[in-house]
Amino acid sequence: MGNNKQGGNRSQGHYEFIEHTADIAIKAYGDSLEQAFAVAASAMFDIMTDGAAVVSEESIDFDTESVDREGLLVGFLSDLIVLHEVQGYVFGEFEITFFGENRLRARCRGEMFDESRHASGLHVKGVSYHMLEMFDGAGEKPSFVQVLFDV
């Protein structure tokens, strides 16, 4: 899985797959750490829907809190898994706003999962702290997050 996916209309960033034996790891880049979070979410839904196009029919906003930025990433992606598993949503667009080091607000645009249009990709069971990396380039260098998905 050495693919490099450009974010296209989903985000201005991109992501790449990182070699891992059992699960799927990605490194998501953006002009800001908020954008890197958004690209990581986009990558996760690409994995779940096998890259199928997602229509931005609905918008859902939610807040995530944690003790630090690493926990914010894991919590944010975990909240998205719950929205997918429990309510059936798939998302293709994400706007992230940080409030300090331990809170974010996410605006996610997407639609209900439709088996006829969204190819069934891999089932993402969770997000791991294992291999988690984060770098805030603060506009000078690309920001990135590296995350491992439990599939």
How confident is the model over 68-98, as pLDDT tens digits? Answer: 999 999 999 999 999 999 999 999 999 999 9
What does the pLDDT read at residue 5?
Answer: 43
CA–CA distance, 67 with 121 (Å, rounded to integer) = 32
Number of domains in the chain: 1
CA–CA distance, 91 with 94 (Å, rounded to integer) = 8
Q: What's the mean per-residue pLDDT of the chain? A: 89
- Give CB contacts under 8 A, 24+ apart, made by 93-96: 93/9, 93/10, 93/11, 93/42, 93/54, 93/56, 94/10, 94/11, 94/37, 94/38, 94/41, 94/42, 95/38, 96/34, 96/35, 96/37, 96/38
> What is the band of 117 on the pLDDT scale with cuts at 50, 70, 90?
confident
Residue 2 has pLDDT above 50, yes or no: no
Neighbouring C-beta atoms of residue 43, cutoff 10 Å: 27
Q: What is the mean pLDDT of residues 8-28?
A: 74
CA–CA distance, 129 with 19 (Å, rounded to integer) = 16
Measure CA 57 to chain center.
19
Residue range 125-141, pLDDT digits in tens? 999 999 999 999 987 89
Q: What is the mean pLDDT of residues 104-122?
A: 91
User: Helix crossing, 69-87 with 33-49: angle to 10°?
Assistant: 30
CA–CA distance, 42 with 122 (Å, rounded to integer) = 14
What is the extent of the structural domain holding 63? 4-150
Residue range 30-83, pLDDT digits in tens? 999 999 999 999 999 999 998 899 999 999 999 999 999 999 999 999 999 999
Phi first, then psi: give them for residue 117, nearest 5 degrees: -115, -25
Residue for token digits 């380039």? 137
Q: What is the CATH number for 128?
A: 3.55.10.10
CA–CA distance, 77 with 59 (Å, rounded to integer) = 16
What does the pLDDT read at residue 20?
Answer: 61
